[in-house]
Amino acid sequence: MIPTHRFTGSIPALVSPMNEDGSLDLDAFRALLDWHVEEGSGAVVIAGTTGEAPTLSTEEQAALIGLACQHLGGRLPVIAGTGANSTAEAIELASLAENAGAQAQLSVVPYYNKPSQQGMYAHFKAVAEACDLPVILYNVPGRTVADISNDTVLSLADVPGIIGIKDATGEMGRGFDLISRRPEGFLVLSGDDETALALTLLGGDGVISVTANAYPSIMHLMIEDAMHGRLESARRHNARLQKLHRALFVEPNPAPLKWIMARQGRLDNHLRLPLVHLSSTSQSELTRLLEEIG
């Protein structure tokens, strides 16, 4: 198993570039991977929420994960999005990611069917036991409605193969409680850019980030400074992006993000329905923020 310290730092939840006809833009995808190596990202998440995974076919997910592993060639670890609200489907996606060469999987709390804490424990235990791909749990109750408790997370931390959690609640008291009680080596990664600096300063291991797609170097430097106690420098980096963290969710993710990255020349601004292009009002707001960031 790859050491857990390889999954720390600033980790972009990578967008999936698309062509006008809706097909995947693999040339832009390769270029993004190279850019994140150059900018210091700690790893990449492929086929997560920001990558529009709900609209990707199983074949497309496998293609993106496999291409990322092949193109990176070990330069960055690849974490594959594998979550589903069906345990059987989550296991199938985990096997697919393992066969494609991923180094870990990001598995979201089952959404829509609202399982109990016992159901969540049984779900993730089954996923971890079904293959050898390390599991990073993903708690984002704002999307899933279901919310895994810290006690359940810590019980799962004892299951072989479950190596950490992406906590997107943004609740610092909850995050610190988890950090203070976790077993050695269990990762606690922020899933909320607005509070990522705070969680890292409390002892967290970094962030799986939306913002890092567009500003990977600043996010990398902020997390590195935080993890090494360089507080003033970390604060300065965070201050540059703080308004943007929130603005990236002014409309459903990744519509604002893809609009920004298209302005940067990183990709063409195409999404799949039911997501639609950013409204003119939100474009004006983001334009002002980008001018502030420089």
Position 50 in a domain: yes
Please give the tally of structural domains in the chain: 1
What does DSSP assign to residue 230? -
Strand partners, 189: 166
Q: Among the options 121, 166, 215, 258, which is catalytic?
A: 166
Angle formed by the axes of helices 255-263 and 280-293, nearest 10°: 60
Position 264 in a domain: no
> 111 catalytic, yes or no?
no
Q: So what's the pLDDT on residue 4?
A: 58
Q: Which long-range contacts (CB under 8 A, 24 or more apart) does 26-32 make?
A: 26/67, 28/266, 28/267, 28/268, 29/64, 29/67, 29/68, 30/67, 30/71, 31/266, 32/213, 32/266, 32/267
For residue 94, count CB atoms less than 10 angstroms from its CB and return exposed for 0-12, middle for 13-18, buried for 19 or more: buried
Position 94 in a domain: yes
**10-residue mean pLDDT series, the chain (294 residues):** 75 98 97 98 97 95 97 97 95 96 97 96 98 97 95 98 97 96 97 97 97 97 97 96 93 97 97 96 92 82
Position 158 in a domain: yes
Residue range of the domain that includes 24: 4-234
Residue for token pair 């420098």:
233
Position 249 in a domain: no
Strand order in the sheet with 9-12: 9-12, 206-209, 187-190, 162-167, 135-139, 104-108, 78-81, 44-46
> 121 catalytic, yes or no?
no
Q: What is the CATH number of the domain that holds 144?
A: 3.20.20.70
Position 241 in a domain: no
Query: Who contacts 216 (Cβ-Cβ below 8 Å, separation ≥6)?
Result: 10, 12, 35, 36, 39, 40, 41
Q: So what's the pLDDT on residue 217?
A: 97
For residue 220, count CB atoms less than 10 angstroms from its CB and return exposed for 0-12, middle for 13-18, buried for 19 or more: buried
Q: Among the options 114, 121, 125, 138, which is catalytic?
A: 138
Strand partners, 187: 164
DSSP element (H, E) containing 180: helix 172-181
Q: So what's the pLDDT on residue 293?
A: 80
Q: So what's the pLDDT on residue 6?
A: 80
- pTM, two decimals, is 0.96
Q: So what's the pLDDT on residue 5?
A: 58
Strand partners, 10: 207
Position 164 in a domain: yes
Position 225 in a domain: yes
